[in-house]
Amino acid sequence: MKEILKTAGLNKAFGMGENEVVAVRNASFSMVAGAFEAVMGPSGSGKSTFLHLIAGLLSPDSGSIIVEDREIAGMPDTELTLFRRRRIGLIFQDFNLIPTLTAQENIELPLLLDGTAHEHSARIAELVSLLGLNGRTSHFPEQLSGGERQRVAVARALAGSPAIVLADEPTGNLDSPAARSLCELLRKVNKELGSSILMVSHDPVVAAAADRVHILRDGHFCASFATHGSAATVSERYLAAMV
Ligand SMILES: Nc1ncnc2c1ncn2[C@@H]1O[C@H](COP(=O)(O)OP(=O)(O)O)[C@@H](O)[C@H]1O
Ligand SMILES: [Mg+2]
């Protein structure tokens, strides 16, 4: 299978001198196209920093980040902005929807900015239906439940058929039933549409939705294992990697 994402020797520190915090340390990672994988680690282990580096929202101090055959470390800003908009789908913990736009407009926004919304109308209709958002598209975010808001954000991330979807604690602001439902939908999106998904979570139940988990400890990947869809397996392997 073709690799969709590969990082090698990735490093990122914040601050200077005695205030320096190394957030990502010699992180090497790879994932094939069509995979659904998760990154787990304690708070402060560098999960968000790692995801933001791959998304091109932060630039690394050193190392390589290849997304779909393109090196994004050191890519000029304007080129990176376009690449991110077209090839990377982002899902955040706090949904990041625009309150004055309807659900439909939020979903279409990145494509409108890119001038390609019309090319993706069939895809958007398919996503709205797959994500259970029929009848909700003319609502504004404040008229939607947390779970529905996050499903709008998932549709927005997927609308332009990105190379990879990156999700940072996507269930962090949801109650358990909505979190469970979001996990099932991410699995469905991965299996039915073949979307490549990399999700960060510290929750074993959520991470078990992915097929494989990678453990980040002090900014470095120290273990990786198949989940077999079992939260118990994830918990056990995660704790073993932490001692
Ligand atoms: N913008 C920043 N400025 C300074 N330190 C930061 C910044 N972002 C993250 N850090 C630090 O880097 C480390 C990793 O943070 P983060 O990637 O957010 O971890 P996680 O998502 O696993 O909780 C932490 O020690 C955090 O305080
Ligand atoms: Mg984080």
Q: Distance, CA 68 to ligand 2 centroid (Å)? A: 24
pTM over 0.75: yes
Q: List phi, psi (to 5°) of 208.
A: -70, -15
DSSP letter at 129 equals H
- Which ligand does the CA of 168 lie closest to? 2
Q: Distance, CA 168 to ligand 2 centroid (Å)? A: 7
Q: Distance, CA 166 to ligand 2 centroid (Å)? A: 13
Alpha-carbon distance of 173 to 183, in angstroms, equals 13
**Contact indicator for 214, 37 with CB cutoff of 8 Å:** yes
Q: Is 20 in the pocket of ligand 1 (CB under 6 A)?
A: no
Q: Order of strands across the sheet with 88-91?
A: 88-91, 164-168, 197-200, 36-40, 212-217, 220-226
Q: Is 89 in the pocket of ligand 1 (CB under 6 A)?
A: no
Which CATH number, 3.10.450.50, 3.90.960.10, 3.30.565.10, 3.40.50.300, labels domain 3-242?
Answer: 3.40.50.300
pLDDT (tens place) for every residue of the chain, 243 residues total: 899 999 999 999 999 999 999 999 999 999 999 999 999 999 999 999 999 999 999 999 999 999 999 999 999 999 999 999 999 999 999 999 999 999 999 999 999 988 888 899 999 999 999 999 999 999 999 999 999 999 999 999 999 999 999 999 999 999 999 999 999 999 999 999 999 999 999 999 999 999 999 999 999 999 999 999 999 999 999 999 998
